[in-house]
Amino acid sequence: MKNFLTIILIAFTISLSAQKYVEHKVEAGETIESIAKKYLVTPFDIYALNPDAKRKFQPNTVLIIPNSKIKNEPIEEESRELIGYKKHKVKRKETLYGLSKQYSVTEEEIKKANRFLYSENLKKGDRIQIPKYRTVISKQTLSNTVKKYRVQPKEGKWRIAYKFGITVAELEGLNPQMNEVIQPGDELNVPNVEVDDEKPIEATYSYYEVLPKEGFYRLKVKLGLTQEQLEELNPELKETGLKAGMVLKVPSGTNVAGSLGNVETTNLKGSLKNFETKKLALMMPYQLDKIDVDATEETKDRIKNNKRLSIVLDFHVGVMMALDSAKQLGISTDLKVLDTRNKISATGKLLDDNDFSDYDAVIGPMDGTSFDRVAKTLRRYNVPVIAAMNKPKDVYSNVFQTVPEDKLLRKTMIDFVKADSLKTKVVIISDQSHRTSSEALKSEFTNSHLIFSRMNRKQKEKDGFFIYPQDIENIFPAGKTIVFLETNNNSLASSVISMLNAKIDKRTEIVLMTLNKNKAFEGKNIDNNNLSNLKFHYPSVNKDFDEYKSNSFVRAYRKEYGVSPSKYVARGFDLTLDLLMRLASEDDLYGASSDMIETEYIENKFRYKKSLFGGYVNEAVYIVKYDNLRIVKAN
């Protein structure tokens, strides 16, 4: 037996030598990470050969270290050396941001040279030092774990991450100045692996980015692939396991976007564990510079006549009520309210004058340009920026878009109808401007009847926005018929609604629906009694709170203001309370935003899905309907 073990040991030693493995005796103070860095391997490489090290890691432990795939040839590396300072007297309107651009230094470098700027704002007349640097080029060997890579056409972050076997987050960490959308010709830092070890992108496969806290079970539910299937396509998984941000190769045709299936509502009250004070900023266009607090009546009129300001103030009231509700749950908040004045210049100054690096989240701004500026700036600190009532142009990795996409509203409505187990007849009535989308809707319901509005009698090339009564004769058999009405025209909507209402009898049930509920379905020409008779259904970002149910939020608002809260008050409350409860249930907002968590409050619900290599978009949508002159959630 002893000889047998000796033979095994000799064979293993020969194997180590042949594969260029080495042994390392752990010294006091060393960590797996420091050892991995020393030998230019990853911690996962070490754990793969030393599984016991996960539970037993101490001095004198002998580890087997694999041969590094990283080339250790000297490369040139640039660094900056401080060579002196330039005196500068601050002029009116000058900011740290402007000075950093003028002198090609960072704001942090200016602060380090002028320590008082950590506690005071820059002001006119200040005499400060601007650091001057020179570029030093040196050759690095031991720390040579990266090389320069030029982005090729059609390559995005995920392709490069996959090619070099790292996560998207790791690629971003190697390139802190990298743009959200990289362009061909951009030069990036990447792991300095041998060319043969770079993984090719194969057109016959799809690719998927692993989200935080996703395990093999969750991926089986989402992608329909078992752990064994994923490991066969991605052999490195057997060594490293799943890591958030890693890019996996999956069979072509796999639904990498995931399913919009039902998720049970999560009550986060039972998951609260992080009770550190939450640091939030609320950036809204209060435009306080235009309000004269001494002119009370004038101010009241301005608020009454300025719809944007009215919305902002309603939202603000909802935010403050949410802070009170969160406090009752043990969640304290340090809230900073900032006025963007609805100007990009004012927003830029707020960014220059405030340090947001340790904030848990920033809500706002409302206007797109200012929001984009804030999201881009705070991305370097990984601070979540919440788009409360707007859809941002670019959903950066730190952006949370709370308003669902229109295409999701449309899909949810279509899926709702398809889920009806009864064989229901479908009719589509559309104006000319909705011809393309209505033809696409017909393709979803192949046996549906499609009717377009008539052209103008005098101007034949223009839409007349009407149909004849005979256009809908003999198309409503006994039983249930669903009618989609797709228009932005109030005249067409009111006439069709009246015609359909007249068709209802004891044998015929007509249910009116639309993919896009807009102002065409509102106003004095629309009879809400007819909409109730037709059980009008539509997809919506929010639902109306139930007047008939006891609701402490509604009661508190009515007691304070004497009226029912608007949808903007409810949105401010719902969004802020959800944000605080998510932050209190995990270490940060990213960890608390799995697409398996769906929360619901007064009028809004939230289920965030991380877009592929971007930020988070709310995918929680309501289907609502008219019922006895009330708008209620449809089941």
Confidence of residue 257 (pLDDT cuts 50, 70, 90): low
What was the pLDDT predicted at 13? 44
pLDDT tens-place string over residues 142-178: 344 667 888 888 788 878 888 887 777 778 767 777 7
Closest Cα to residue 372, out of 403, 396, 407? Answer: 396
Query: What per-residue string of b and e applies to 55-82 under the rule 16 or more CB within 10 Å gives b?
Result: eeeeeeeebebbebbbbeeebeeeeeee
Confidence of residue 467 (pLDDT cuts 50, 70, 90): very high
- Enclosing H/E stretch for 282: strand 278-284
The overall average pLDDT reported for the chain is: 84
pLDDT tens-place string over residues 369-389: 999 999 999 988 889 999 999
Q: What is the mean pLDDT of residues 86-111?
A: 90
Give the whole-angstrom CA distance, residue 352 versus residue 607: 33
β-pairing, 425-430 vs 479-486, is parallel
Give the whole-angstrom CA distance, residue 97 versus residue 592: 33
Give the whole-angstrom CA distance, residue 151 versus residue 332: 46
pLDDT tens-place string over residues 269-284: 989 999 999 999 999 9
User: What is the CATH code of the structural domain delimited by 407-540?
Assistant: 3.40.50
Contact call for residues 359 and 279 (beta carbons, < 8 A): yes
Show me where the domains of the chain are located.
2-65, 75-140, 146-251, 269-397+550-618, 407-540
In this structure, what are the phi and psi dihedrals at residue 485, rounded to the nearest 5 degrees?
-115, 115
More confident residue, 67 or 143: 67
Give the whole-angstrom CA distance, residue 44 versus residue 354: 40
Instruction: Give how far Cα 74 sits from Cα of 137, 142, 146, 193, Å.
Output: 12, 8, 11, 14
pLDDT tens-place string over residues 177-212: 777 778 888 888 887 777 777 888 787 888 888 877
Give the whole-angstrom CA distance, residue 379 versus residue 402: 18
Confidence of residue 306 (pLDDT cuts 50, 70, 90): confident
Contact call for residues 241 and 255 (beta carbons, < 8 A): no
pLDDT tens-place string over residues 524-558: 889 999 999 999 999 999 998 776 666 889 989 99
Instruction: Give how far Cα 226 sits from Cα of 109, 162, 239, Å.
Output: 50, 20, 17
Taken as a whole, the chain contains a residue count of 635
Confidence of residue 6 (pLDDT cuts 50, 70, 90): very low
Confidence of residue 624 (pLDDT cuts 50, 70, 90): very high
Lowest-pLDDT range of 29-33, 298-302, 341-345, 505-509? 298-302
β-pairing, 599-600 vs 508-513, is unpaired
Check if 2-65 and 75-140 are the same fold.
Answer: yes
Q: Residue 50: is its pLDDT beyond 60?
A: yes
More confident residue, 514 or 41: 514
What was the pLDDT predicted at 335? 96
Residue appearing with tokens 């802190």? 176
Give the whole-angstrom CA distance, residue 310 versus residue 207: 46
Confidence of residue 140 (pLDDT cuts 50, 70, 90): very low
Helices (H), 84-240: 96-103, 107-113, 157-163, 168-174, 216-223, 227-233, 237-240
The rounded percent of the chain whose pLDDT value lies above 90 is: 45
* pTM reported for the whole predicted model: 0.65
The structure tokens listed for 333 are 């908040």
Query: Hey, what CATH topology would domain 75-140 get?
Result: Membrane-bound Lytic Murein Transglycosylase D; Chain A (3.10.350)
End-to-end, the C-alpha distance of the chain in Å comes to 71
What was the pLDDT predicted at 142? 39
Q: Residue 214: is its pLDDT beyond 60?
A: yes
Q: Residue 298: is its pLDDT beyond 50?
A: yes
pLDDT tens-place string over residues 123-138: 998 999 999 988 766 5
Confidence of residue 603 (pLDDT cuts 50, 70, 90): very high
Q: What does the DSSP assignment read for 566-597?
A: PHHHHHHHHHHHHHHHHHHHSSSTTTT--TT-
What was the pLDDT predicted at 68? 62
Q: Residue 461: is its pLDDT beyond 70?
A: yes
Q: What is the mean pLDDT of residues 600-606?
A: 94
Count CB atoms within 10 A of the CB of residue 204.
7
**Residue at 374: amino acid letter:** V
What was the pLDDT predicted at 2? 45
Confidence of residue 116 (pLDDT cuts 50, 70, 90): confident
CATH 3.10.20.30 fits 269-397+550-618, yes or no: no
What was the pLDDT predicted at 258? 54
CA 528 and chain centroid, separation:
37
Q: Residue 55: is its pLDDT beyond 80?
A: no
Query: Hey, what CATH topology would domain 2-65 get?
Result: Membrane-bound Lytic Murein Transglycosylase D; Chain A (3.10.350)
Q: Which CATH number fits domain 146-251: 3.40.50.10800, 2.60.40.1180, 3.10.350.10, 2.70.98.60?
A: 3.10.350.10
